[in-house]
Amino acid sequence: MVALVTGAQQGIGRACALALAGAGHDVAVNWLDDEEAAEAVAAGIRAAGRRALLVRGDVGTAAGCAAIVAAAMAGLGPPDVLVNNAGIFPRIPFLEMAEAEWDRVLDVNLKGSAFCAQAVARALVAAGKPGCIINLASAAVRGTPVGVHYSATKNGVVGITRSMALALAEHRIRVNAIAPGLTDTAQPRYGNTEEELAAMGAAVPLGRMGRPEDIAGLAAFLASDAAEWITGQVYHINGGSYMP
């Protein structure tokens, strides 16, 4: 079994890559700007007895997505599992947002998810193999005042998840989404102090921020045979802070 995880050099992507390795997958680790961190993830995968492949690339263009998937296929074979994790969240007030900022967030978060999924699905269909695509949405589907562009992409991820699930069901390719709440990664530290983060975590009904491993556990389940009749779903993991 082969998995491709985008944005796997840190945070939720890193945890998903390691969880999938623990579940028996060889893993292609997509990274962009921190080779040392990516190498550490690869070392963890190899320590679990699985093959690891580093694939540098930017998911912000369709060509970049195709190149990432092609490199993963050349090194490990067609991915049975894709985790669309790569994403950016530059905070900016709506009234100050520029077109270029809007475009970049949509390119990485939404277009990247769609075209990585398309490239993997094409490879699976050509090989006559079933597969699993897991998209990372966010609790930001409910909105955030400094992330109108980000919320737009994550609501879009929910939409493409449902539509791709319908489009790919005949090929036995399942598509689901995970929508994390406040999770202890680099992202919430952008613009927040440790004291503010502690207060935010304490406000969660279960009393803490999420951990990347909380998200990765569900990703590993959705990639497993135990989830073979699950598609088109959005799973909110947030300690009870948002109940849609």
Q: Lowest-confidence range among 90-99, 195-204, 207-216?
A: 195-204
Instruction: Name beta bridge partners: 2.
Output: 26
Can you give the pLDDT at residue 146?
Answer: 92
Put simply, whether the predicted model's pTM sits higher than 0.85 gets the answer yes
The two three-digit tokens of residue 54, written as one number? 């580093």
**192 pLDDT band (50/70/90 cuts)?**
confident
The two three-digit tokens of residue 69, written as one number? 């998937």
Please enumerate in sequence order all residues whose Cβ is within 8 A of that of 56, keeping only pairs 6 or more positions apart, or say none.
30, 31, 32, 35, 38
Q: Is the pLDDT of residue 190 over 80?
A: no
The verdict on whether 150 is a catalytic residue reads: yes
Per the document, the length of the chain is: 244
Q: Is 53 helix (H, G, I), strand (E, B) or coil?
A: strand
**Helices 11-22 and 35-47, packing angle to 10 deg:** 20
> What Å distances lie between residue 35 and 14, 38, 118, CA to CA?
13, 5, 26
**Beta carbons within 10 angstroms of residue 52's beta carbon:** 23
Which one from 150, 190, 235, 242 is the annotated catalytic residue?
150
Task: Give residue 115's Cα distance to chain centre.
Answer: 13
Q: Cα angle vertex 139, ends 27, 23, to 5°?
A: 25
Scan for tokens 């997505």, then name that residue: 65
